[in-house]
Amino acid sequence: MTNKQIGQLFLATFVAILIIYSIFLGNVKTILLLLDATTYILIALGLSFVLWYYKRKLKTVEILDFNKNSNLTFQSTTLFFLFFQVIDYIYEGGFIGMISQWFFYWIMGIIAFIVITIINYYKNIQYYKQVLTHDPKYYPYES
């Protein structure tokens, strides 16, 4: 999946979560759940600024994908999510408790995506430093 497709997927799931929350929990409970996640939202915003900084730094070069050999598949992610849905259903008091955790999972997914992208951009910066500068500290065996 491209970053644009992942962004569209996150937007679609956010809208779906809000619709389900408004149907089953009501507006007041939905707003309270969103306010409870304020800390995580602020963390995601802080990481977004770091991501924006790296994007600006790398806007003139081709971005290499150092994460393409990742073994994380959609199927394994879905199974991981379903496993925690069963645990939430048992420990959070049934269906309402289970769906109240969805926004938390959504925010954690965004944070994980941003961190993985930041790591990829950092690796790109290190790669281009090595390739473009020919600094002796990167090539210790050159004379």
Whether 140 maps to a domain, the answer reads: no
Whether 64 maps to a domain, the answer reads: yes
Whether 35 maps to a domain, the answer reads: yes
Domain region containing 70: 3-133
Per-residue pLDDT tens digits for 10-66: 889 899 998 998 898 888 988 998 898 899 999 999 999 999 999 998 888 888 888
Total domains present in the chain: 1
Whether 115 maps to a domain, the answer reads: yes
Amino acid at site 55: K
Whether 60 maps to a domain, the answer reads: yes
Per-residue pLDDT tens digits for 79-95: 888 888 888 888 888 88
Whether 86 maps to a domain, the answer reads: yes
* Neighbour tally for 102: CB within 10 Å: 20
Whether 139 maps to a domain, the answer reads: no
Is pTM, for the whole model, over 0.95? no
In the chain, which ranges are continuous DSSP H helix? 3-24, 27-36, 38-57, 74-91, 95-99, 102-133
